[in-house]
């Protein structure tokens, strides 16, 4: 079987290799999954460079999430599991950019095999992140404003959809004006552009109202600019730093309006949550993928043999959607 591997940390084009390995055998509590689709997320690119919160011992397989079919089970696992399409829980204990992966039975959650396979392959990381960001830190009353940076990201798209269902309003910061119309059509209540002066745009969007929750994926100047628009007791959650900048708030915003600042990492939640609760959460979100509430565009799919092209595409600015590895035929 083939897998993508790194032997050293560095730029993806220099360090990611396709290697041939023996087919892994599932242990008693494990299942063997034949991978079908697996996205490339920004965190994968960070991990390859050694800049992520998790640094596996090298050499290491890579790839965090995805779906596949169970093709073999260990002695303690029911044989009926064979043939199920499963989501591999993205707890970074296994790597998904390989033809076949062994995972603990608890980390292989059955999903609807009739649903769109690419949307299902992306369920593991971003929809659950959006769900947890919206509900883990603060109870928001209907009509409350949720602001978010990185408005064109997949996470932000899921936040817009989930916020809408809960009657929350979203204010989205993007860096490309051409993204405004699409986000408004998708249900965003306001979209502002970070390469223009944000202050008049925020004033126009919010009027006399204030933001209750700021979800920050980018760091950098937009966070500082949004600071004065955060309401008394508002919450700021830093969950990504894709601009490479820092999260800077004016101390008078933090002190005099009693702001609460938190970090969020999905892996922490997976590490401290029971397998039953993890499975329940994915099952609940899966129904929203199946009914079309949670969708993210797909820019392209590639076989793992084309990893150089795929990884370069995933790293590109202004992508039209997610880039995935796919094990289905690419005619």
Ligand X SMILES: NC(=O)c1ccc[n+]([C@@H]2O[C@H](COP(=O)([O-])OP(=O)(O)OC[C@H]3O[C@@H](n4cnc5c(N)ncnc54)[C@H](OP(=O)(O)O)[C@@H]3O)[C@@H](O)[C@H]2O)c1
Say if residues 179 and 191 touch (Cβ distance below 8 Å). yes
326 binds ligand X (CB under 6 A): no
Query: Of these, 5, 98, 148, 152, which contacts ligand X (CB under 6 A)?
Result: 152
184 binds ligand X (CB under 6 A): no
Nearest to 36, CA basis, from 76, 8, 63: 63
The CA-based angle 69-121-262, given to 5 degrees, is 130
150 binds ligand X (CB under 6 A): yes
Give the Cα separation of 110 and 119 in Å (integer): 14
Nearest to 162, CA basis, from 280, 297, 293, 292: 293
- Closer residue to ligand X (CB): 81 or 267: 267
Q: Edge-to-edge, what's the strand order for the sheet holding 260-263?
A: 190-193, 169-174, 145-148, 211-216, 230-238, 260-263
- Options 9, 52, 158, 302, the catalytic residue: 52
Say if residues 227 and 202 touch (Cβ distance below 8 Å). no
Contacting range for ligand X; rule: CB under 6 A; set: 18-26, 61-69, 151-159, 253-261: 151-159
Instruction: Supply the minimum distance, in Å, between the C-beta of residue 325 and ligand X.
Output: 14
HSE-CB of 165 using CA atoms within 13 angstroms: 14
- Closer residue to ligand X (CB): 3 or 322: 322
Binders of ligand X among residues 266 to 305 (CB under 6 A) are: 266
Q: Give the interface size with ligand X as a residue count (CB under 6 A).
A: 25
91 binds ligand X (CB under 6 A): no
Contacting range for ligand X; rule: CB under 6 A; set: 60-68, 76-84, 236-244, 279-287: 236-244
Burial class (CB in 10 A: 0-12, 13-18, 19+), 77: buried
- Active-site annotation holds for 239: no
196 binds ligand X (CB under 6 A): no
Binders of ligand X among residues 8 to 67 (CB under 6 A) are: 41-43
Q: Which residue's C-beta sits nearest to ligand X?
A: 240
> Which residues of the chain form contacts with ligand X (CB under 6 A)?
41-43, 125-126, 129, 150, 152-155, 175-176, 217-218, 239-240, 242-243, 264-266, 317-318, 322
* Active-site annotation, residues: 52
């Amino acid at each position: 079987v083939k897998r993508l591997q790194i032997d050293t940390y560095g730029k993806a084009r220099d360090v990611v290799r396709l290697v041939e390995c023996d087919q892994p055998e599932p242990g008693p509590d494990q299942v063997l999954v034949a991978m079908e689709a697996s996205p490339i997320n920004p965190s994968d690119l960070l991990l390859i460079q050694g800049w992520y919160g998790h640094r596996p011992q090298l050499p290491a397989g890579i790839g965090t999430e995805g779906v596949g079919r169970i093709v073999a089970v260990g002695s303690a696992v029911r044989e009926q599991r064979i043939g199920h399409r499963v989501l591999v829980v993205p707890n970074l204990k296994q790597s998904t950019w390989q033809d076949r992966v062994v995972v603990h039975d608890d980390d292989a959650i059955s999903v609807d095999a009739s649903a769109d396979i690419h949307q299902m392959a992306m369920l593991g990381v971003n929809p659950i992140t959006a769900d947890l960001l919206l509900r883990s830190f603060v109870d928001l009353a209907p009509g409350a404003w949720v602001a978010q940076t990185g408005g064109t990201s997949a996470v932000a798209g899921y936040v817009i959809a989930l916020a809408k269902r809960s009657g929350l309003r979203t204010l989205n910061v993007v860096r490309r004006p051409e993204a405004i119309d699409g986000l408004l059509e998708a249900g965003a209540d306001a979209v502002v552009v970070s390469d223009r002066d944000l202050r008049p745009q925020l004033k126009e969007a919010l009027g006399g109202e204030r933001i209750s929750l700021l979800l920050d994926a980018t760091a950098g100047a937009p966070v500082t600019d949004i600071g004065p628009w955060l309401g008394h007791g508002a919450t700021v959650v830093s969950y990504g730093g894709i601009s490479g900048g820092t999260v800077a708030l004016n101390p008078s915003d933090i002190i005099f309006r009693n702001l609460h600042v938190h970090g969020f990492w999905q892996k922490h939640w997976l590490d401290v949550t029971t397998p039953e609760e993890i499975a329940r959460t994915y099952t609940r979100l899966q129904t929203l993928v199946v009914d079309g509430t949670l969708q993210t565009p797909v820019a392209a799919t590639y076989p793992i043999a084309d990893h150089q092209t795929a990884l370069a595409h995933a790293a590109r600015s202004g992508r039209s959607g997610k880039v995935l590895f796919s094990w289905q035929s690419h005619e």
